[in-house]
């Protein structure tokens, strides 16, 4: 997979399709490279591309700490698969279930995200590999 490049803060970032082409499109840096279980990375990227296509986000971060994804607004080293900042400044977090994780572990992680973000966490989803969210 190759991704378009976008300049932000004097650096080139690979971004998901549809991101970063103008100041009106979301900033969606793909921070890490494909890794781990086949299909896991693809599911993460497809989730970003889907949300960009819906046109309802300001930014999307893949595999970055909450602190980075919220631009320092919330401090946490927890690293979700996807963090989306919505137009209303709330956040959606998606985790892609991998064989090394259990659904109950990810449910507990979702509760941690809720404790950190409070009412700013609008949505938390656990996706299966290959599942592309409809919203």
- Tens of pLDDT, residue by residue over 18-31, are 565 555 566 666 65
Asked whether residue 66 is domain-assigned, the answer is yes
CA distances from 112 to 83, 107, 118 (A): 14, 9, 10
Residue 133 · residue 48 · CB < 8 Å? no
In a domain, 133, yes or no: no
Evaluate if pTM is beyond 0.85. no
The pLDDT profile of the chain, 135 residues, written as one tens digit per residue, is: 444 444 445 444 555 555 655 555 666 666 566 667 878 888 888 888 888 778 888 888 888 899 988 989 999 999 999 999 998 999 999 999 998 899 999 999 999 999 999 999 999 999 999 998 887
Query: pLDDT tens digits for 30-50?
Result: 656 666 787 888 888 888 888
Within a domain: 9: yes
Using DSSP, state whether 88 is helix, strand or coil. Answer: coil
Report yes or no on 15 lying in a domain: yes
User: Which tokens sit at 18?
Assistant: 């549809």
Number of domains in the chain: 1
Residue at 132 is within a domain: no
Q: Are 121 and 89 in contact (CB under 8 A)?
A: no
Which residue is listed with tokens 């919505």?
Answer: 86
Q: Is residue 135 part of a domain?
A: no
Residue 61 sits in a domain of what CATH number? 3.40.1350
* Angstrom distance (rounded) from CA 64 to CA 126: 17
**Domain enclosing residue 64, as ranges:** 5-127
User: How many whole angstroms separate alpha carbon 120 and alpha carbon 91?
Assistant: 6
């Amino acid at each position: 997979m190759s991704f378009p490049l976008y300049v932000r803060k004097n650096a080139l970032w690979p971004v998901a399709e549809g991101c970063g082409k103008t100041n009106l499109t979301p900033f969606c840096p793909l921070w890490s490279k494909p890794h781990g279980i086949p299909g896991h990375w693809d599911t993460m990227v497809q989730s970003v591309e889907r949300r960009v296509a819906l046109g309802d986000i300001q930014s999307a971060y893949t595999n970055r700490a909450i602190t980075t994804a919220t631009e320092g607004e919330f401090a946490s080293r927890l690293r979700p698969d996807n963090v989306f900042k919505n137009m209303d400044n709330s956040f959606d977090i998606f985790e892609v279930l991998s064989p090394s994780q259990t659904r109950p572990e990810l449910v507990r992680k979702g509760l941690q995200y809720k404790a950190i973000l409070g009412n700013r966490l609008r949505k938390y989803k656990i996706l299966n590999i290959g599942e592309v969210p409809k919203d």
